[in-house]
Structure 1
């Protein structure tokens, strides 16, 4: 079992280990959930069994990547089985017009090549997570889509349950707008914050190297970027726009409130919204992962 913890103490005299879990979102079981379940089911049986524990501290900034690395085999297999069962078809139909569809990895070890170069693939779990942010049957003003950032594997499992994939056809009229909004935020957020009086380039995670220096490419359209915007900042900004989603019971489809596309609203609020999230970031130690 692999655990993330705030700190670990060992009492030599009593041979006692104390593990401190301070934050429910960042600390706890990273890998070994099935093992833990079996232990709980048999803890009264007095069995002579040994389980190796690995406790990691100071990994809060990379918790999502660590979770992905430790759980890749199980999650990717599940994803591959879902692809074989055509369970991603509703999502594919919603985003079939988008240019990055061929770069989405819906199955294990999926690789696409263009002009003899391997394309940078996008994990299908991320597509599910981003759409799930706007699933107002799943999240509302009281229940926030934190799992979209902190545990994409959980949302994938939730998506694959029963008839859930078919319900994602509700996104057919707004899915393209959602991913265009993601692209717009990723490419415009740093300058929006700078225009509001901030200095985004001073943040280590921005990767900024100077005016005109390309440090990354946008996630979906692969546009050159002078700044990086971590998912921990992107997801909350994106999630703010789920307030615009309404459900049309007659068509069983999601729509934008008053027909106003979120990309247009972003133009009106990007400076104030950027300033708001960065002020929050500064107040909690400027850690994108904690923001997410």
Structure 2
């Protein structure tokens, strides 16, 4: 069992809403003597009294990861030039917890039992900028300049903690702080109601920061089963919530790319009538409208026959639908299969007597030919890589060219005992039959004139690809089946 983070937060000025007099007025017109089971304390906290937050609290509950940029630079400028105006120029910090105790002298003891949903709900960029401002008093300028993310600042905070203590009294600027807590922390129903409300409050407060639907869904635990099934190396590259990645790092995998791919097996399940509601996405939306894929995913996951909140864990949901679980098993294989198709399709296409590299939309990596060529536009200087594993490859081309083939993998799926499963091992199948499928696929490539937008946004091209995979699978099964009069064990 992990230790529960406890700290004391002291306000310089604080107001309680609703207070006892407000509750009397509310109770005279309503059977509930609180607003949505929530009480809040608003006021100002001096910079020096934020030390306990910096010492013990993470930004895990904040749906957006704090990152140095124009926002933090503006906050730093305000602190440096007009600290007396800072409490009126900043929206401050929002803190939420279901376990607290109001003490004397405007002090509150806060306990964060679930750091994933309690703690700093909004104002992560304010916290990051304030931390940098304080550290500037004790750390070297180049060390401050090296800070990019909240974690970088926290490392310096720990390193210079003793020096910061000596500077504490110098930080008397005021910071707006709002603390939201359950109106009755002793009542189980009120606490549970509060915990379920926190996520919506958090999302609403982050609207100005363009909080993505995927980030909110991650907080609900909708992606846990996906994350657990993915290869750890791929899972580590997924941007599960906004701003997690440094700009200097390799391009992350967007969670909505995975959610879009999840609809390949989910569509298969829906066609078989296995989902608790009739829900699907059109094949072309997997490429052209990933936002719609995300919305439909959330709609499915919110169905009580698919998932439900875990008792005692706030808004976090648990997946209990075996059909959806099986679709996530399939999804775990799709990034590698996507890479395999992207990497092997050019040679599969060429094996039919065609020239994949002759199309202007295709760029080739060949340093020798590039050095000798007068017109170097057909060659690229940097070697391309596959989208998910970053394996070095020869050709770079728009993913739209092969999206129908990726969707075509649905033709290799079947239903067994209410679950979506592979009818055959897909990687080996692609090795054996991709050449044949590529030869037939040339028809849709020619009809679209090698335009990836026309290909990926046309439902017929996806259905054609599914049909080609199904025909190849049938051929594969016939070849594997024992001939008449032969024993299966022979």
Deviation at 1:189, TM superposition (A): 0.8
Q: Which residue is equivalent to 2:289?
A: 151
Q: Which residue is equivalent to 1:130?
A: 261
Q: Which residue is equivalent to 1:175?
A: 331
Go from structure 1 to structure 2 and tell me whether the alpha carbon gap of 1:247 and 1:177 turns closer, same or farther (over 3 Å shift): same
Go from structure 1 to structure 2 and tell me whether the alpha carbon gap of 1:130 and 1:171 turns closer, same or farther (over 3 Å shift): same
Higher relative contact order, chain-length normalized (CA < 8 Å, sep 6+): 1
Match of 1:193 among 325, 349, 369: 349
Deviation at 1:272, TM superposition (A): 2.0
Deviation at 1:81, TM superposition (A): 1.0
Q: Which residue is equivalent to 2:220?
A: 85
Deviation at 1:147, TM superposition (A): 1.3
Match of 2:234 among 73, 89, 100: 100
Residue ranges of structure 1 left out of the alignment (5+ in a row): 1-72
Deviation at 1:148, TM superposition (A): 0.7
Match of 1:120 among 251, 254, 262: 251
1:254 maps onto 2:385 in alignment: no
Once the two structures are superposed, what CA deviation does each residue of 1:89-129 show, in whole Å capped at 9, x if it has no partner? 1211221x34221111121122169xxx5132111010011
Deviation at 1:180, TM superposition (A): 2.0
Task: Report the Cα distance in structure 1 between the residues aligned to 2:397 and 2:214, rounded to whole angstroms.
Answer: 27
Q: Which residue is equivalent to 2:389?
A: 221
Task: Report the Cα distance in structure 1 between the residues aligned to 2:225 and 2:210, rounded to whole angstroms.
Answer: 20
Once the two structures are superposed, what CA deviation does each residue of 1:151-195 show, in whole Å capped at 9, x if it has no partner? 111010000112357353223543333222112111111111112
* Pairs within 5 Å for 1:277-292: 277-292=441-456
Task: Report the Cα distance in structure 2 between the residues aligned to 1:118 and 1:186, rounded to whole angstroms.
Answer: 23
Q: Which entry has the higher C-alpha Rg, 1 or 2?
A: 2
TM-score (norm 1): 0.64
Once the two structures are superposed, what CA deviation does each residue of 1:237-280 show, in whole Å capped at 9, x if it has no partner? 1111212212333xx532112xx111111122211222222331
Task: Report the Cα distance in structure 1 between the residues aligned to 2:210 and 2:406, rounded to whole angstroms.
Answer: 25
Task: Report the Cα distance in structure 1 between the residues aligned to 2:284 and 2:337, rounded to whole angstroms.
Answer: 19
Deviation at 1:214, TM superposition (A): 5.0
Residue ranges of structure 2 left out of the alignment (5+ in a row): 1-207, 273-279, 308-318, 369-380, 457-490
Task: Report the Cα distance in structure 1 between the residues aligned to 2:389 and 2:229, rounded to whole angstroms.
Answer: 17
TM-score (norm 2): 0.40
Query: How many equivalent pairs are there?
Result: 212
Task: Report the Cα distance in structure 2 between the residues aligned to 1:181 and 1:145, rounded to whole angstroms.
Answer: 17
Task: Report the Cα distance in structure 1 between the residues aligned to 2:209 and 2:290, rounded to whole angstroms.
Answer: 13
Deviates more, 1:149-158 or 1:269-278: 269-278
Alignment RMSD, CA only? 2.8
DSSP-derived class of the 1:118 partner: coil
Go from structure 1 to structure 2 and tell me whether the alpha carbon gap of 1:221 and 1:79 turns closer, same or farther (over 3 Å shift): same
DSSP-derived class of the 2:257 partner: helix
Task: Report the Cα distance in structure 1 between the residues aligned to 2:233 and 2:286, rounded to whole angstroms.
Answer: 23
Task: Report the Cα distance in structure 2 between the residues aligned to 1:98 and 1:289, rounded to whole angstroms.
Answer: 32
Deviates more, 1:170-179 or 1:232-241: 170-179
